[in-house]
Chains A and B, each alone.
Chain A
Amino acid sequence: QVQLQESGPGLVKPSETLSLTCIVSGGSISSYYWSWIRQPPGKGLEWIGYMYHSGSTNYNPSLKSRVTISVDTSKNQFSLRLSSVTAADTAVYFCARSVSQVSGYDYWGQGTLVTVSS
């Protein structure tokens, strides 16, 4: 059974960089697409970006200038960096898997709340 687990600081100061890691267990990170999705408290879902196991990436145009997603296949994990954060970036951040670029997300992490505050 594939499992995803997010980890990282729960509190980030404004203007700093948010960094999260998603550890994939029960399956290989190869041959799938790995995404980050966020959900502000009480609101809907926003796709941040994805990467393929080869390292190719695609980002939400509205966040592209601030987002970097990377993979470490040796550790079976991938990471998110979001720079210059503001209070508007406060959200639950989920990592998720999709079989292809044109499919739904079949496995999700439990999510981790990141609060941007001084």
Chain B
Amino acid sequence: EIVMTQSPATLSVSPGERATLSCRASQSVSSNLAWYQQKPGQAPRLLIYGASTRATGIPARFSGSGSGTEFTLTISSLQPEDFAVYYCQQYYSWYTFGQGTKLEIK
């Protein structure tokens, strides 16, 4: 099983600033990686797939990068609605998720 490790567990950032979230795979997943945003009581929302392609309707302030084992989700200028939990997911071999990064208001 491919283990996905996200860091940090909690990230405190002020609105308007940039947030950088990391995701590491225990073995290469090529570019078979997605990012999701989840707010309390809601289902996850697909943000990024193929490591760097924004899903339909996702604002340009969200960007993904990386390949192989190291991936990054960057939110360029945080808006109030961006504070949530973010998950990465690999779909190279079966499907596994990271444990999540909670993005909180500083």
Contacts of B83 in A (CB 8 A): none
Within 8 A of B (CB), among A98-114: 98, 101-106, 108-111
Bound CA span A118–B99, Å: 29
Contacts of A102 in B (CB 8 A): 32, 91-92
Tell me whether B89 is interfacial, beta carbon within 8 Å. Answer: yes
| B46 with A106: CB separation less than 8 A | yes
Known A-B contacts A45-B89, A103-B49; the reply to A108 vs B43 at CB < 8 A is yes
| B43 with A61: CB separation less than 8 A | no
Tell me whether A44 is interfacial, beta carbon within 8 Å. Answer: yes
Question: Nearest Cβ in chain A — how far from B13, in angstroms?
Answer: 21
Interface size bracket, B side: 20 to 34
| B95 with A47: CB separation less than 8 A | yes
| B98 with A101: CB separation less than 8 A | no
Contacts of A45 in B (CB 8 A): 44, 87, 89, 97
Tell me whether B105 is interfacial, beta carbon within 8 Å. Answer: no
Bound CA span A102–B36, Å: 15
Closest B residue to A44 by beta carbon equals B99
Contacts of B43 in A (CB 8 A): 94, 96, 108-111
| A103 with B97: CB separation less than 8 A | no
Cβ-defined partner of B97 (8 Å) among A47, A96, A101:
A47
Tell me whether B34 is interfacial, beta carbon within 8 Å. Answer: yes
What is the interface of chain B, defined by CB distance below 8 A to chain A?
1, 32, 34, 36, 42-46, 48-50, 55-56, 87, 89, 91-92, 94-100
Give me 20 other A-B pairs in contact (C-beta within 8 A), A45-B87, A108-B45 excluded: A45-B44, A47-B94, A47-B97, A61-B1, A61-B94, A101-B91, A102-B32, A102-B91, A102-B92, A103-B34, A104-B46, A104-B49, A104-B91, A105-B46, A106-B46, A106-B55, A108-B43, A109-B43, A110-B42, A110-B43
19 A-B pairs within 8 Å (CB atoms) are namely A44-B98, A44-B99, A44-B100, A46-B97, A47-B95, A47-B97, A61-B1, A61-B94, A94-B43, A98-B91, A103-B49, A103-B50, A103-B91, A104-B48, A104-B55, A105-B44, A106-B56, A109-B43, A110-B42
